[in-house]
Structure 1
Amino acid sequence: MNADKRYSDLLDYLVQPKAHDHSGDKTICYLTFSLDDIQSVKKRLNEGWLDLAKHRDLEPISLSLHEVLKSFFSQDDYRIEAGKDAVEDEYEMKDVYESLGENLKNQQVIENAILSKQEEVKQLKNGVLFITDVEAIHPFTRFGPVEQKIYNQIEVPMIIMYPGEVSGSALKFLGFYPEDGNYRSKHF
């Protein structure tokens, strides 16, 4: 099934009344697509898919994880200082890179950005939070652990634009991370 059809099915799912669902009590949906389709999915999202959501009386708000990380790293004092010293040494640079990922996770930067954007979405009658540029979080984390940390705090429908594969009820981030079946969400 192509991405356009899966997206249409996802929108149908969002606008239908919900009965008890195996995926949990939150409306969290993953639109999966291959790595080869990252650019075309971004283009479709910006050139029509958000409008399709609006035509179904949904009010989409987007959060780019690339922008979240870019903002965080541009202001991270550790990155600025340690990065200058490590530029010439491959091993030091690897340590700096790993430390940056730990800072990102320890400060729950991604989780806090999503919860903050959720507040904006909650003000809308039929707001939906679109999480985009998920590939930007590699190699620091996967989205599954992020979802697990904030699951009980999610109060709005959320669509994660997920580069990866569906394998049964599990997801495989970027197509090469190990399968993760801990997502409590609907996969398209």
Structure 2
Amino acid sequence: MYSLDNAFNELLDKIRDPGALDPAKSDPVFYFVYPPELMLDLKKRLPRWVSRIREAGFEVRRVSIADVMWKLVDHSGRWDEWLKLEGDADIEMLKDALSDVLRQNNALLNSIAGAVESASGKVVVLITEIELLHPFTRTKIIGDYLHDKAQVPTVFLYPGTLSGQSSLKFLGFHSVDPGYRAAILGGL
């Protein structure tokens, strides 16, 4: 049976020795894969896990997809207009409008990459709430964008399932996304 705590212990071991993630010594980016139905359990454990990472001698930088998205919406200047239109808009129109904000000038990718690139020293970057990327983008696109940018352990907390050695199924219902470059921990 899958255990979030056992998977986290493996993650902590990898954070302590990120070179063990990949013998080729590529980017220290990896995916902590857990069953989507355990999303709330993971969120409850996260403060304790952050404390344990700090006890291991690392600073933790949390990159919340929710915070990134809200910041981008706020900076777009569209929020008030959206609130006025919300009652008459269909859900597809709203999704398209938000997608436009996230993709304009690679805003989402650049925001995440900026937070990861600016981390140095004994820092672990945790990318959380990635479930909010549905239906706008896939994590693989972000992971690929971070290639050669991450200098510190960078962990995607990924609700999904493992398929083979390097393929993931986001949220357990998207089609299998093959060829992840980063190391994958956990999963079923």
Say whether the fold is shared (TM-score over 0.5): yes
Residue identity matched to 2:101:
N
Answer yes or no: is the 8 Å Cα contact 1:33–1:163 preserved in 2: yes
The 2-side partners of 1:22 and 1:174 are apart by 29
Structure 1 position 140, deviation (Å): 0.8
1:9-88 equivalences under 5 Å are 9-16=10-17, 18=19, 21=22, 25-46=26-47, 48-78=48-78, 80-81=80-81, 84-85=84-85, 87-88=87-88
Structure 1 position 4, deviation (Å): 0.8
The 1-side partners of 2:51 and 2:3 are apart by 19
Q: What residue in structure 1 maps to residue 162 of structure 2?
A: 166
Answer yes or no: is the 8 Å Cα contact 1:65–1:136 preserved in 2: yes
The 2-side partners of 1:114 and 1:25 are apart by 19
Answer yes or no: is the 8 Å Cα contact 1:15–1:56 preserved in 2: yes
Count of residue pairs brought into register by the alignment: 183
Structure 2: 5+ residue stretches without partners: none
Structure 1 position 23, deviation (Å): 7.8
Do structure 1's residue 142 and structure 2's residue 142 form an aligned pair?
Answer: no
Answer yes or no: is the 8 Å Cα contact 1:32–1:163 preserved in 2: yes
Give me the TM-score of the superposition, normalised by structure 2. 0.85
CA RMSD of aligned residues (A): 2.3
The 1-side partners of 2:92 and 2:116 are apart by 34
Change (3 A) 1:83 1:17: closer
The 2-side partners of 1:21 and 1:119 are apart by 20
Q: What residue in structure 1 maps to residue 151 of structure 2?
A: 155
Structure 1 position 115, deviation (Å): 2.5
Structure 1 position 145, deviation (Å): 0.7
Q: Percent identity?
A: 27
Structure 1: 5+ residue stretches without partners: none
The 2-side partners of 1:23 and 1:71 are apart by 36
Structure 1 position 110, deviation (Å): 2.5
Structure 1 position 96, deviation (Å): 3.9
